């Protein structure tokens, strides 16, 4: 695990399991505190809350990251 340095800036604060998704890239929206994750083992993407790791929506028809 990377060292965040003496101030702790950039420290890893939470991890969430991805059920039925081998993550392959992500896009984070800092305003809504959510993330889109591309899944490489199944078609589609998922929309996840970064507050608690809840999967908010799945997009099985989406096939690529923006």
Per residue in 3-20, pLDDT tens?
A: 666 776 766 778 888 888
In a domain, 15, yes or no: no
What's residue 48's pLDDT?
Answer: 94
Give the structural domain span for 38: 23-59
Confidence band for 56, pLDDT divided at 50, 70 and 90: very high
> Is 55 a residue whose pLDDT tops 70?
yes
Q: Give alpha helix (H) positions in 1-65.
A: none
Element (H, E) at 29: strand 23-29
Over residues 15-26, mean pLDDT: 85
Is residue 8 one of the residues assigned to a domain?
Answer: no
Higher-confidence position of 44 and 12 = 44
Greater pLDDT, 54 or 5: 54
Domain tally, the chain: 1
């Amino acid at each position: 695990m990377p060292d965040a340095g003496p101030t702790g800036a950039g420290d890893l604060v939470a991890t969430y399991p991805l059920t039925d998704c081998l993550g392959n890239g992500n896009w984070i929206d800092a305003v809504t505190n959510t993330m889109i994750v591309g899944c490489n083992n199944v078609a589609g993407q998922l929309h996840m809350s970064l507050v608690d790791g809840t999967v908010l929506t799945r997009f099985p028809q989406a096939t690529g990251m923006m």
